[in-house]
């Protein structure tokens, strides 16, 4: 089955952080971080429905104005997720412009912002063009299981990581895909029909085998409804895992961060992870609260990711991309073969 998500590093492996994740079948896209996004054409910006901001360092957030400019005439709600403080930052950015002519617009762009803390949600607010982007506050709805968004088509989890400021890591995952084998359905004496939808839903939700399902059983003169247990119907189904993409950037290499990244990115098809510094510059990476290539590869291996895509290479390594990639890959394959490498115990201001 063709994967639903197509992910693209907007500025390649160097430059500002921004990952554009297009949903092929839904005419919408997710944006992880908002660094310089000039490389994105407006037709792509106009698909953005959700924006996930890891933290507000300028190379992760300066693209906000460009997204706003491109989206101004959209009649949609764009949702933003980020660490505590994001609402005030967006309010400040919107407050930098004059909005006296917004009553001439026939559209109403809404920006809905959720701040995510260790409990799952801290605050929510909305800014509507119709109201000159005046801030409206709402009560937060913490879930506590790390899931910050659930759409039915995919869900997004977040982890609060340490970059000497809270920095969010994200993972977007689809539920399992459930397809029906028509011939096996025939063999079971069942007819196709709308009843297959709740059956598929029960599998997606991980319901137990004894869950009763209303089925359509073929009889001589047509079909009649009947009840069957979910377990009896499984042989007519093909279940394939959904796609999972994880995004981790700007983190210091501590065991606390490593454990959270491991949980967040567990089994990801692709882990996009920063690797700012070369392996030999470990001390510098620690000082700047970033990862080295080796650490990024190790973390990807610990998470059991199928593929690792490093990015955010420091400009100091210009022309050495191949070498940095090799360092990541070497640590990734080594880590996947051997026991996990443990980062040094957290100390001082790293925690």
Nearer to Zn ion, 174 or 274 (CB): 274
Nearer to Zn ion, 246 or 289 (CB): 289
Of positions 33, 36, 174, 250, contacts Zn ion by CB under 5 A:
250
How far apart, in whole angstroms, are the C-alpha atoms of residue 26 and residue 320?
A: 38
Residue 288 interacts with Zn ion (CB under 5 A): yes or no: no
Residue 57 interacts with Zn ion (CB under 5 A): yes or no: yes
3-state SS assignment for residue 292? strand
Near Zn ion by CB under 5 A, which window of 5-13, 54-62, 231-239, 325-333?
54-62
CB of 274 to Zn ion, least distance (A): 9
CB of 58 to Zn ion, least distance (A): 9
Nearer to Zn ion, 230 or 256 (CB): 256
CB of 57 to Zn ion, least distance (A): 4
Report the length, in residues, of the chain. 351
Near Zn ion by CB under 5 A, which window of 177-185, 206-214, 243-251, 323-331?
243-251
Nearer to Zn ion, 79 or 312 (CB): 312
Near Zn ion by CB under 5 A, which window of 250-258, 259-267, 295-303, 307-315?
250-258
What one-character-per-residue DSSP string does 323-341 give?
HHHHHHHHHHHHHHHSPPP
CB of 61 to Zn ion, least distance (A): 10
CB of 55 to Zn ion, least distance (A): 6
Near Zn ion by CB under 5 A, which window of 50-58, 69-77, 105-113, 341-349?
50-58
CB of 67 to Zn ion, least distance (A): 19
CB of 311 to Zn ion, least distance (A): 13
- Specify which residues 81 forms β-bridges with: 52, 114
CB of 295 to Zn ion, least distance (A): 16
Residue list 68-87, contact with Zn ion (CB under 5 A): none
The answer to whether the CB of 148 falls within 8 A of the CB of 126 is: no
Which residue do the tokens 């799952």 mark? 120
User: Looking at beta carbons, which residue is closest to Zn ion?
Assistant: 57
Residue 274 interacts with Zn ion (CB under 5 A): yes or no: no
CA atoms within 13 A on the CB side of 62: 10
Nearer to Zn ion, 36 or 250 (CB): 250
- Backbone phi, psi, residue 75, to 5°: -100, 60
Exposed/middle/buried for residue 349 (C-beta within 10 Å: 0-12, 13-18, 19+) = exposed
The answer to whether the CB of 235 falls within 8 A of the CB of 203 is: no
Near Zn ion by CB under 5 A, which window of 15-23, 53-61, 184-192, 230-238?
53-61
Q: How many residues bind Zn ion (CB under 5 A)?
A: 2
Nearer to Zn ion, 103 or 349 (CB): 349
**Beta strand pairing call for 48-52 and 77-82:** parallel
CA atoms within 13 A on the CB side of 149: 25
Candidates 107, 102, 42; CA nearest to 74 is: 107
Classify the phi-psi angles of 219: left when phi > 0, otherwise alpha if psi is within -120 to 50, otherwise beta.
Answer: beta
What one-character-per-residue DSSP string does 214-255 give?
EEEEEETTEEEEEEEEHHHHGGGEEEEPPPEEEEE-S----H
Candidates 298, 309, 307; CA nearest to 337 is: 298
Nearer to Zn ion, 34 or 236 (CB): 34
Near Zn ion by CB under 5 A, which window of 14-22, 44-52, 216-224, 245-253?
245-253
Q: Which residues bind Zn ion (CB under 5 A)?
A: 57, 250
């Amino acid at each position: 089955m063709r994967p639903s998500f197509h992910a693209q590093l907007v500025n390649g492996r160097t430059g500002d952080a921004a990952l554009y994740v297009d949903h092929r079948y839904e005419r919408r896209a997710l944006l992880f971080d908002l660094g310089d996004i000039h490389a994105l054409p407006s037709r792509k910006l106009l698909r953005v429905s959700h924006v996930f901001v890891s933290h507000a360092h300028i190379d992760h957030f300066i693209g906000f104005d460009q997204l706003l400019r491109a989206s101004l005439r959209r009649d949609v709600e764009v949702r933003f997720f980020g660490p505590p403080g994001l609402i005030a930052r967006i309010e400040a950015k919107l407050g930098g412009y004059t909005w006296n002519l917004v009553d001439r617009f026939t559209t109403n762009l809404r920006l809905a912002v959720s701040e995510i803390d260790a409990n799952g949600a801290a605050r929510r607010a909305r800014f509507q063009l119709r109201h000159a982007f005046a801030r409206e506050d709402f009560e937060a709805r913490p879930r506590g299981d790390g899931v910050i968004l659930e759409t039915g088509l995919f869900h997004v989890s977040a982890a609060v990581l340490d970059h000497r400021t809270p920095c969010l890591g994200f993972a977007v995952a689809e539920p399992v895909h459930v397809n029906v084998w028509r011939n096996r359905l025939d063999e079971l004496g069942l007819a196709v029909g709308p009843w297959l939808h709740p059956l598929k839903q029960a599998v997606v939700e991980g319901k137990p085998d004894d869950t009763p399902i209303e089925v359509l059983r073929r009889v001589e003169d047509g079909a009649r409804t009947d009840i069957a247990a979910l377990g009896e119907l499984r042989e007519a189904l093909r279940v394939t895992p959904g796609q999972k993409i994880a995004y981790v950037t700007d983190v210091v290499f501590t065991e606390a961060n490593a454990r959270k990244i491991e949980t967040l990115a567990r089994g990801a098809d692709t882990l996009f992870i920063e690797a700012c510094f070369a392996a030999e510059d470990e001390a510098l990476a620690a000082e700047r609260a970033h990862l080295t290539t080796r650490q990024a590869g190790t973390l990807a291996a610990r998470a059991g990711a199928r593929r690792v895509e490093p990015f955010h290479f420091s400009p100091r390594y210009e022309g050495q991309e191949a070498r940095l990639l090799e360092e990541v890959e070497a640590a990734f394959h080594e880590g996947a073969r051997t026991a996990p490498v443990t980062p040094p115990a957290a100390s001082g201001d790293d925690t």
